[in-house]
């Protein structure tokens, strides 16, 4: 189905329209779009967290920890305490779970992470192009339901007493392919409804879904862990599938789907193409109601662009390579932070697996602040590359200080973890949202070309290759000591910043008023604002 083909109005929207007797305003639809895509991608990230939570259960380290007091705490965090020392019989898999226990267990855990992320990365390129050619609502719906199904099947391995490594590997690979449908789709949907004005701040706030999803996924997985590690996968998988139903019922992927014309990618105002003029939203609403809720609008077919053409858009390749190293750092924390916390002393004490999962969510709390801050700064100074590079450079001392002093006390660990999360997730959030949306509506795309999902897929697909590499390397380097892992993270952050050097210089030259032929030819002087 091409973009010009007739799409159906979401059934939930039709029902509400019949009940209310009229259509929602464009402003209301925009709020709804932000909310639904926020929930949708939070579900995607929530379903990725279980593997990091259960690592210490599948592969317990040789017992070097002192005996822990059994303190009863019936309520999970945040209702109960963050630091809980109890280990119930159900979640204390003292012997681990074959094939992940014993020597080489951490390497196998790293391998299933890289299997998931490699398929996710490869699937992203295909999913991006499909997202620009198929109905985004249906594409996203089936992606969420399929992903939830395979995440749940991974957990069923516990109840079926499966110990074959290939089973878990295949489940992760299948889940990774379905997960690839998410990010290009949600960014494309938001880009279809919003122009570039204040896009950094809007998408910085909206991108909190990544951290909110990580937090919810950690709490859900840790909360049901006491009933068996299989539930830590089944519960998030079920929530993921419910999110797919919500998307099917209520997500209007394009303004045209609910009777409104397309928008101007810069101003965000609606365009009535048959008059070639921009209309204010109030007049558009009046036209919609007068013409039978949009039946009078006619649109030209929109064509999607190919991968090669999208790669040629100025700025796509540098930001894609930067995201490779940025996600290498971010996803190492995503997949290994709970395991790291459970294997190191904090204030002279070890913590339980459940507590480590709870505590790791505070890294994402810092990430929420970082994403919003990066978006605001990049909007205010109109400097996406400079903002992203600055955050990556600041992440280097933040990570080193966290590794060196995070074990001093619980309070110090929390503060340093949140600071590291702020600087690590800030540029990651900025590049995958505002920058991708900017480049997907770049002025070099002529006519009615659509490239939002394709550009997003190229940038995030390349980044996801780094996301696959980081956890894999961590599985091997952690056997040498955690210091080696943190050195890897420092190198990754440094490379991410350096890859944006040319774009940073171009932005600085523009701010200082140096405009010559060489500077004018630099990408993203005015392109990614």
pLDDT tens, 200-229? 677 778 888 988 998 899 899 989 998 999
Which residues, including other chains, have CB under 8 Å from residue 333's CB and lie 6 or more apart? Answer: 363, 420, 421, 424
pLDDT over threshold 50, residue 30: yes
Distance from C-alpha of 255 to C-alpha of 26, rounded to nearest angstrom: 8
Among 206, 182, 180, residue whose Cα is nearest residue 193:
206
Q: Smallest Cα–Cα separation from 52: which of 324, 340, 328? A: 340
Of 323, 363, 366, the C-alpha closest to 340 is: 363
CA 82 to chain centre: 25
> Band of the pLDDT at 358, cuts 50, 70, 90?
confident
**Has residue 183 got a pLDDT over 90?**
no
SS3 content of the chain, % helix, strand, coil (to 5): 65, 0, 30
pLDDT of residue 75: 45
**In this model, does residue 245 exceed pLDDT 80?**
yes
Handedness of CA 294, 299, 305, 311 (dihedral sign): negative
Q: Residue 368 in contact with residue 358, Cβ under 8 Å?
A: no
- In the three-class reduction of DSSP (H, G, I as helix; E, B as strand; rest coil), residue 503 is classed as helix
Residue 254 corresponds to which tokens in the numbers above?
């394009």
Residue 481 has pLDDT above 60, yes or no: yes
What average pLDDT does range 30-37 have in this prediction?
95
Q: Which pLDDT tens digit goes with each residue over 99-135?
A: 998 778 888 888 898 899 889 888 988 888 787 788 9
Average pLDDT over residues 378-387: 89
Residue, of 514 and 8, whose pLDDT is higher: 8
Q: For residue 286, what pLDDT is reported?
A: 43
Which of 233-242, 313-322, 494-503 is predicted least confidently? 313-322
CA–CA separation, 323 vs 460, rounded Å? Answer: 7
**Mean pLDDT to the nearest integer, 261-271:** 59
Task: Give ∠ CA 113-106-403 in degrees, rounded to 5.
Answer: 90
- For the chain, the maximum distance between any two Cα atoms, rounded to a whole number of angstroms, is 76
pLDDT above 60 (res 151): yes
Q: What is the pLDDT, as a whole number, of residue 298?
A: 39
If pLDDT is split at 50, 70 and 90, which confidence band does 288 have?
Answer: very low
Tell me what pLDDT residue 302 has.
53
Looking at residue 19, its pLDDT comes to 93
Which one, of 176, 227, 219, lies nearest residue 53 by Cα?
A: 219
Domains 8-61+99-259 and 303-528 share a fold: yes
pLDDT of the residue at 294: 39
Whole-number pLDDT of residue 105: 83
Candidate CATH numbers 3.40.640.10, 3.40.50.970, 1.10.10.60, 1.20.1250.20; the one for domain 8-61+99-259: 1.20.1250.20
Q: Which run of H or E residues covers position 302?
A: none
Say which range, 219-223, 249-253, 326-330, 508-512, has the weakest mean pLDDT.
508-512
Q: What integer pLDDT is reported at residue 432 of this predicted model?
A: 81
Cα-based distances in Å from 501 to 326, 419, 462: 15, 24, 19
- Which residues partner with 278 through β-bridges? 271
The reported pLDDT for the residue numbered 305 is: 63
For 10, the 3-state DSSP assignment is: coil
Q: Nearest Cα to 324, choosing from 451, 118, 492, 501?
A: 492
* pLDDT reported for residue 132: 73
For residue 460 the two structure tokens come to: 């995030």
Say which residues have a Cβ less than 8 Å from residue 169's Cβ, sequence separation at least 6. 111, 112, 115
* Fold of domain 303-528: Growth Hormone; Chain: A; (1.20.1250)
Residue 417 banded pLDDT, cuts 50, 70, 90: very high
Domain residue spans in the chain? 8-61+99-259, 303-528
User: Mean pLDDT score of the chain, rounded to an integer?
Assistant: 81
Global confidence as pTM = 0.74
Angle at the Cα of 18 from the Cα atoms of 302 and 1, rounded to 5 degrees:
25
């Amino acid at each position: 189905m091409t973009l010009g083909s007739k799409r159906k109005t979401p059934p939930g929207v039709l029902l509400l329209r019949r009940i209310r007797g009229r259509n929602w305003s464009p402003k209301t639809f925009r709020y709804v779009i932000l909310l639904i895509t926020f929930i949708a991608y939070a579900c995607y990230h929530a379903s990725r967290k279980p593997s990091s939570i259960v690592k210490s259960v599948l592969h317990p380290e040789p017992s070097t920890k002192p005996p822990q007091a059994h303190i009863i705490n019936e309520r999970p965090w945040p209702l109960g305490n963050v630091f809980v020392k109890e280990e119930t019989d159900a979640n204390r898999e003292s012997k681990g779970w074959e094939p992940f226990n014993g020597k080489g267990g951490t390497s196998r855990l790293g391998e299933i992470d890289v299997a998931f992320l490699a398929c996710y990365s490869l699937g992203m390129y295909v999913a991006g192009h499909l997202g620009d050619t198929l109905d985004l609502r249906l594409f996203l719906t089936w992606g969420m339901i399929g992903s939830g199904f395979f995440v749940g099947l991974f957990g069923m391995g516990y109840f079926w007493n499966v110990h074959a490594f290939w089973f878990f590997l295949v489940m992760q690979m299948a889940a990774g392919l379905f997960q690839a449908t998410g990010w290009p789709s949600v960014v494309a949907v938001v880009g279809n409804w919003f122009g570039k004005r204040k896009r950094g701040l809007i998408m910085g706030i909206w991108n909190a879904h990544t951290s909110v999803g990580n937090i919810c996924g950690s709490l859900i997985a840790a909360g049901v862990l006491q009933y068996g590690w299989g539930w830590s996968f089944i519960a998030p998988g079920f929530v993921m599938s419910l999110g797919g139903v919500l998307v099917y019922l209520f997500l209007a992927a394009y303004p045209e789907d609910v009777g409104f014309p397309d928008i101007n990618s810069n101003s965000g105002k609606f365009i009535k193409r048959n008059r070639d003029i921009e209309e204010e939203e109030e007049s558009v609403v009046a036209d919609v109601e007068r013409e039978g809720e949009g039946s009078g609008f006619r649109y030209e077919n929109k064509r999607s662009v190919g991968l090669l053409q999208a790669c040629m858009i100025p700025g796509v390749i540098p930001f894609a390579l930067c995201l490779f190293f940025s996600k290498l750092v971010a996803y190492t924390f995503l997949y290994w932070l709970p395991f790291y916390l459970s294997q190191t002393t904090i204030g002279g004490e070890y913590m339980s697996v459940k507590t480590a999962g709870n505590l790791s969510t505070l890294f994402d709390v810092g990430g929420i602040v970082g994403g919003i801050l990066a978006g605001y700064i990049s909007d205010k100074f109109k400097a996406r590359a400079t903002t992203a590079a600055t955050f990556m450079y600041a992440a280097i001392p933040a990570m080193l200080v966290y590794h060196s002093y995070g074990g001093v006390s619980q309070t110090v660990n929390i503060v340093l973890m949140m600071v590291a999360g702020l600087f690590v997730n800030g540029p990651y959030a900025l590049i995958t949202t505002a920058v991708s949306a900017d480049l997907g509506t770049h002025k070099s795309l002529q006519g009615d070309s659509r490239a939002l999902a394709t550009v997003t897929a190229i940038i995030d697909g390349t980044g996801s290759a780094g996301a696959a590499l980081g956890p894999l390397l961590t599985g091997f380097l952690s056997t040498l000591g955690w210091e080696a892992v943190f050195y890897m993270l420092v190198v990754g952050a440094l490379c991410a910043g350096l890859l944006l050097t040319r774009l940073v210089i171009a932005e600085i030259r523009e701010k200082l008023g140096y405009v010559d032929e060489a500077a004018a030819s630099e990408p993203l002087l005015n392109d990614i604002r």
